[in-house]
Structure formats: C-alpha cells, structure tokens
Amino acid sequence: MSRMDALKKTFFEESAEQLESLETSLTDLREGGSSDDTINAVFRAVHSVKGGAGIFGFERLVGFAHVFESVLDQVRHGSLLATPDVIDVLFVASDVLADLVESTRSEVELPADYDDDCRRALQQLMGKSTGDAASGENVESAAPADFDGFDFTPVSVDISDTPDDNLAEQTYTIAFRPKPAMLTGAKDPLALLRELRGFGTLDITADAGALPHLSEFAPDQAYLAWHGTLRTSSTRQDIERIFESIRGDCEFEITELGLPPPLAELDTASASNVATLDRPALVDAAPVAVNTVTAQDAGADETADPAKETRAGGMSKPSTTSIRVDLDRIDRVVNMVGELVIAQAMLSQIIQTLPEETNNQLWKTLDEVTHHTRELKNSVMAMRAQPVKSVFQRMTRLVREVSAKTGKKVHLEMVGENTEVDKTIIEQLSDPLVHIIRNSIDHGIESPAERLTRGKSETGTVRLSADQRGGRIVIEVRDDGAGINSERVLKKAREKGLIDPNATLSEDEINNLIFLPGFSTAEALSDISGRGVGMDVVRRNIQDLGGRITLKSTAGQGMTIQFALPLTLAVMDGMIIRVGNETFVMPISAIVECLRPSRSDVCNLVGTRGTLQLRGDIVPLVYLGDLLQVQATVKVASDGVVIIIEASDGTRLGLVIDELCGHQQVVIKSIEENYHSVLGIAAATILGNGRVAFILDIEKLPELAREEANRSDADRHTGAQSVAA
Amino acid sequence: MPLAAGLKVLIVDDQYSVRQVTRMALEEIGIRHIHESENGKAGFEVASVQPLDLIISDFNMPEMDGLEFLKAVRGSPAVRRVPFILLTGRGDRELVVKAAQAGVNNYLIKPFTSAVLRQKIEQVIGKIS
C-alpha cells in the first residue's frame, strides 16, 4: 500500500468516526439538546469530512458536504431554526453523506442523481432561512464557488530578518523580587514569568541568594528573585500592566535600555550563588527551589541541572493523549503475548518435573512471570477494546425509525455504554442488535392503546445494557412488551414441521424455538422484522463470536435476550480432550454437558452407531475417533465420556471421546493462514507440553458426522454386495 | 533564499489524514522540520515554544479555529511575524477575505499538489532552494 493509499484508508476511518458523531449529535439535537455545542459538533463533523475529502480531491463528496455544511452554518448562526422538519432533512443528508463516503471508499459509483433530492431539500432550507435577503446568494454558494478572479495578493515576508533586527524593538531590564508571602496569596510568579516571555525574548537569571538552609525552608515562602532583560516591541505600559495585580506582593523595576546587550554580557551575569535558567518560564516553581537548595548545600555554583532543562522542554510540548495504531500491529503484540502464555505453560510443566529443592525458587519466579504476563495480556486486550457506545448509539435512531413506522411509543434506555469489548466483536454486534431491537418493537411492544388497556404506561421501554461478568461481556436487550406468545410459537413450529407434533415442550423450550432456522412468527411479513434474516442468523452470528445467546420471556411482561460474549477472540476457554493418542480442544461455549453414560442409556438403532437416552431426549452418538480418523481406545460409548454439544442450528450431538483432560485457556492460532481450512477443525493451539492441538469446529461436526454415516453406509452396502457375489 | 531543509513548519488541522497529506507534500519540497497540532490552541502553544518559519492551518477546528488562531498569532509579540497560510476548501472565499483582514499571508485550496504548495509558500517567503 502506498503512503497515499494508507492515508486514504485513515481518512475513511476518520470519516466513519465523524459520521458516527454526526449521527449522535443530530440525535441529541432532535431530543431537544440544541445547545451551541451540539450544533457545532454537527457542523464540525460535516466540515471535517469535507476537509478530508478535499485534500484527496473527492469532488463529489466535497460538493455534497459543502451544501450540507452551508445549511448547518445557518443553523449555527441562528438564521435557520432547528425545527423537527429541518432536523429530518439533516438526518437524510447525513445518510446520503454516509453513502457517498462509502461509495468513494468502495469505488462503487452511485447514480449521478443519487444526492439530487437531498441537495434540493437542503437548498430549500437555505431559501427558508430568516436572512431572506441573503438567500439568493446562499443558494448560489451551494455550489463550491471557485476562486477564479479572486483578488488576493499574497503577503510576502522576509523570514531571514530575525526579530532582533526589528527596529521597533526595545530592550528593558527587569528586576522582579516577590515578597516572601506572595505564594500564600495563591499568586504564582511562574505564571507571571510566562506572561513576560510572551512579550518577546526574555533572558533572565534567578537569584537564589535568599534561599535558607533546607531545615529552615518553608515551602509556602517565595525565596527566589529574577533579573534580566526583555527584548520586545511592546511598550513599557504593556509590561507594567501584568505586574498590576501583584503590585503589593512584589518589588519590580523596569528600565529601558537602548540597545540589546551582547549575549556574552548576559553570561557573566551568572555569577556566584546564582542559578541560571535559560527558560525559567517553563520550569515549575517548586522544582527550581529544591534544585537550587541542593546546589547551595553542596556549596557549588552550578547552573541548573541539564536534566531539569530537558524536562522543562518536554513539559512545554503540548501532548496528545491518543495515537492511531494500525490494528495489525496490535494483533502482532497479541500474538506475541499468546506465545508468551504458551512458553510459560511449558515452563511450568518443566518445573513440575524438577526435584522439590530446586523447583521452589523457580516456582516463585514463575509466579511473578505469570503475574506480569497476565497484566501484559490484559493491557494488550485493552488496546483492542472499545466502548460499546458506538454500537449502542446507532440503535437510538433505529428505535426512532421503527417506532415511527409502527406507530408505537418506545423509549430506549442505555446502561453501561462504556463497557469495553474487543473491536472485532463490536463490529459484529450491530447486526444482531438491530435485528433483536426491531423484533422487540415490532412484535414485543404493544400499541399505545393496547398498553393502556393492560395497565402499562403508554410508552414502551427497550433497555439495552452491557456489563462485564467474570471473563465475559454480557449484552442484554430487555423490553416490557407482551413477551413471546408460546402458543403461537408452538403452533407455528408444528405447522412448519420444525418439531415433532407429539413432543411435549417446556415453556422455555418453546420460546427457544424462535432460534430455529426458517422460523418467523409475524403473521403478515412486515417490512420491519421480516427481512429474511431470522433469529437463527442472529444466534449464528453470536456463536461465531464465541458467544452464547439466551432468551427469557414472561407472557405479558416482556422478554430479555442476552448475549454472553468472550472478552477477546484471541484467547478462548477450551476443554482439553483425548481420543487415542491425540489431544483436541473443544470450545467450552459449545458444550452443553459431559457425562459417563451407563450401558442401559445407550441404544443401538439400525443404521446408527448408537443413540443416547438423555432425560427423555434422544441424542445421536458419534465417535470422534471415527469422524477424525483417529484410532480411539474406547470402542463402546459406555466405556468413555460423552460430550453433548449443540451447534447453532440446534443440532445436538453426543461425541464419544476417551477422556477429559481439563479446562484451559488456549491461544487461537489460525491454520488457514499457514495451511488451508480443514473440515471439522476451526483452528489450532499449542498446549503447555509444547504439542499442537486442534480446536474442533463445532458447527461443522454434524456435517462431518453425516458424511461419515454416508461413508459407512456405502461401506456396508458394498460389503453386502461382495457377500452376495 | 531560504533553504528547504532549514525551514520549520507547523501544520494545524484536526484531521490526521489532512496533516499527513500536507506533511507528505512538504517533505516532497524538501522540508524536514515539521510540527503538527490538532487545533489552534495546541498550535499556539507549539508556536510559543518552537521557532517557526511558517504556519499552515486549517480553518474549522475544535477548541480554537483557524481564524482565532491567526488572530492569536498576530496578537502575540513573540510570534506575530510568523508567516501564516490558511488551508481552505473550494467555496470558502469569504473565509479567505476575513483571514486577509486578520493578516493571513496566503491561502491554499484543497486538494493541492506539492507544486502548488511550493508556489504558495514561495509567494510568501521567497524562492526555496
């Protein structure tokens, strides 16, 4: 990627942030917070997009942003009032702007008239502004005016002419001696020196002669005095003015000198018992005092510590609180931390084998290393983490739109927006949330009239919350609507043949049927929820992120959908299992339960390798060894362990394995990157003993099981044929 | 004739990408000492501690906008002589007029090439070698 391309990428990232802040500010504006700050924020967001687009020459984007900005400018100056109608247009414009940014980014050209309607609406607003006389000109300025024929003469400057040669400059000698009590009046000599420096070139020396011995030193007394010269073009009155406020607290003297003294002369001023500070204005008052005390104590006439100087220089630089780092770089660090975790696990295995007298010391050190590694891991994870606010904010608008469309009154409540989650997870949270909230409002929340008859308040509430529980992030959408109509769900599921007509299901089980593929309860397909994306896709999305989705519904009182997500995608909770000589890792999130079946629980049905009777349910058994073509020790399910797993489509499988070896956090290593994808294997990891173990892909195991069943069927078939022959 | 390598330039813009593109163009001209600030206020702080030969600043920024920044620079005895070029978009004519009244030395319209940037700088401080 060329440097320019990389910068363009940055621009699009910045624009995404600006568009987000635009959306948030517009929402604030609509909700009545039309403070100057909000309007300015809206204006600035659009202006920044325009500015950035300008520097890259994205003309179309600049053109539209310019019109948008012109309208906002009028809102900002009060000539156009931010009425709901106006805000509606601004919202549409913000969408169009976002589309134009996206089209520029993806280089997929939008139709030439795509933004025409919106432009027209914006221009109409400009015509409406109260400054009607100016409206003609405003509409004209809607198209970026060129600078053709613009009368501007650049002002040239001779930069080689240094301020010293400026004839208007004068040199003053300054003597400034604060009275000892000046500091107690909260008056800071340092601030004054800084102000003096603003006038021109200040060369002063601090006189530390009055400093007492450390034992008599009172920190609230001013002991230092300063004298030196100031070269400036300001008048004497200007300088005296800054001493005005502390007139009674100090002695000062300003005298005019004709010509600036040569530098050498200044140097001799740093005679004995004086600490020279080239830039006194930048050094904290306290450190200066302490520094000079030590100098005097040592009986040395040292100049100020050079280190102090550097520090002062460092302090003067305005610091930025954040930097942009490429995600790849952070990921590289995440990987390295992963390696470190593995190396540490190996180390602990080695230490275990050592004799006790030698390993004690090692354990202690290893504990320390473990501690630091954990800190390091958390810090790196924190770098990838972002508050969920960005996603939550987007929902405000969704709620507004959907409630307007459905004619329902809905209030969105947000809790814990500052909870931080891995960036990748955040990016993939939006779709599931949009879907669930749409469902909540469309199906859950009742119409205002209905709510009133049920004794609820007219306005329904959707509560969106995020918090961290244990090692997981829990995101919850709760509404106070009607909840799930279990009867209707059950009826639908039977009609669609999704469940056995005779099955008896608990209320919870019925409610969870909505996660089945092909399920949609809306009697008439509305354009709000029924977009072909079902709750099964939502569940799939969450499970892809290593999360679990749960649902609770109380008829008439509302429903709660909860996702429990991992903090990061780089490390996973795994169950280490053994089949034959091979070790595998099973994601804990997919495990429903583990058990040792008794012989009587296992039935052998024709054409299967057995089924397990589990509290009235029948779960097909699959031998993991067969699936992965590994020689297993256990041939019969009742000799081994059965892990019940559940894939996102609700398929349950009982995997027969030899042994459970324990629970461990594992670092996920992609095998696709280094090899290619393998059916049934999601990734790999390195265990404490240094061996590579594969992480099983739960979603693909049922598929693999079907393939295996077909294969063994075919085998039997050919076997039978050969017997017949 | 000022030497490009000896020039100290401050870029003030709240957008990282704009600052970087400007920096790139300056580097193409041969300018090496480049400071960056995110807004007028931060820019003014840099200007008060760093010797500068040129300021290139955007207009609309949080905290302190380009015009206020320009006025602050012109009103401060220590830095008021530093040449100031306003970075502007097409259609911001009025802004340049205001900036001219406040003592701007030149303006630069986005997008610009390094050749145009050079020309705009040279119009202010003379031919760069």
Backbone angles phi, psi at A119, to 5 degrees: -55, -45
Candidates B48, B77, B110; nearest CB to A232: B77
Sheet holding A617-623, edge to edge: A591-595, A641-646, A652-657, A617-623, A611-614, A602-603
Radius of gyration of chain B measured on its C-alpha atoms = 13
Chain A CB within 8 Å of residue B42 CB: yes
Chain B CB within 8 Å of residue A154 CB: yes
Q: What local confidence, expressed as pLDDT, does residue B55 receive?
A: 93
Residue type, A33: G
Condensed to tens digits (0 to 9), the pLDDT of residues A427-444 reads 888 888 988 898 888 888
Chain B CB within 8 Å of residue A11 CB: yes
| Spatial CB neighbours of A402, under 8 Å, sequence gap ≥ 6 | A410, A437, A438, A441, A442, A528
For residue A409, the tally of other CB atoms under 10 A from its CB is: 15
- Residue of chain A whose alpha carbon sits nearest to that of B22: A55
Chain A CB within 8 Å of residue B3 CB: no
Q: Which residue segment(s) compose the domain that B42 sits in? A: 4-125
Cα–Cα distance for residue pair A628/A518, rounded to 1 Å: 31
Cα diameter, chain B: 36
pTM, 2 dp: 0.49
| Secondary structure element (H or E) that encloses residue A667, with its range | strand A659-667
| Spatial CB neighbours of A654, under 8 Å, sequence gap ≥ 6 | A611, A612, A614, A619, A620, A621, A622, A637, A642, A643, A644
Q: What local confidence, expressed as pLDDT, does residue A83 receive?
A: 81
Residue type, A703: E
CB contact under 8 A, A318 and B46: yes
ipTM for the predicted complex: 0.83
- In a mutational test of the A interface, the residue from B8, B12, B18 whose CB has the highest number of chain A CBs within 10 Å is B18
Of A479, A478, A474, A472, nearest in space to A416 by CA: A474
Condensed to tens digits (0 to 9), the pLDDT of residues A358-417 reads 778 888 888 888 888 878 887 887 888 888 888 888 888 888 888 888 888 888 899 988
Q: How many CA atoms lie within 13 A of A35 on its CB side?
A: 6
Which of A146-160, A449-463, A479-493, B72-86 has the least mean pLDDT?
A146-160
Q: How far is B121 from chain A (nearest CA, A)?
A: 9
Of A390, A443, A398, A399, nearest in space to A418 by CA: A390
- Residue of chain A whose alpha carbon sits nearest to that of B47: A317
Query: Would you say A422 and A461 are in contact if contact means Cβ atoms under 8 Å apart?
Result: no
> Which among A274-278, A517-521, A558-562, B47-51 has the top mean pLDDT?
A558-562
Chain B CB within 8 Å of residue A143 CB: yes
The pLDDT of residue A275 is above 70: no
What are the tokens at A346? 């190996």
Say if residue A598 is exposed, middle or buried (CB neighbours under 10 Å; 0-12, 13-18, 19+). exposed
Q: What local confidence, expressed as pLDDT, does residue A131 receive?
A: 46
Report the mean per-residue pLDDT for chain A.
Answer: 77
Q: How many domains does chain B have?
A: 1
Cα–Cα distance for residue pair B26/B113, rounded to 1 Å: 10
Tokens 């409610």 sit on residue:
A511
Chain A CB within 8 Å of residue B49 CB: yes
Q: How many CA atoms lie within 13 A of A117 on its CB side?
A: 6
Q: What is the CATH number of the domain that holds B52?
A: 3.40.50.2300
Condensed to tens digits (0 to 9), the pLDDT of residues A127-139 reads 765 544 343 334 4
- CB contacts of A158 in chain B (<8 Å) are 125-126
Band (A290; pLDDT cuts 50, 70, 90): very low
Candidates A154, A160, A232; nearest CB to B2: A160
Condensed to tens digits (0 to 9), the pLDDT of residues A292-324 reads 333 344 444 444 444 444 444 444 444 456 777
Condensed to tens digits (0 to 9), the pLDDT of residues A318-366 reads 445 677 787 788 888 888 888 887 788 778 778 888 887 777 888 888 8
Of A547, A535, A426, A560, nearest in space to A484 by CA: A560
Q: How far is B112 from chain A (nearest CA, A)?
A: 7
Could you tell me the domains of chain A?
3-141 (1.20.120.160), 164-309 (no CATH), 327-385 (1.10.287), 388-566 (3.30.565.10), 571-719 (2.40.50.180)
The pLDDT of residue A178 is above 70: yes
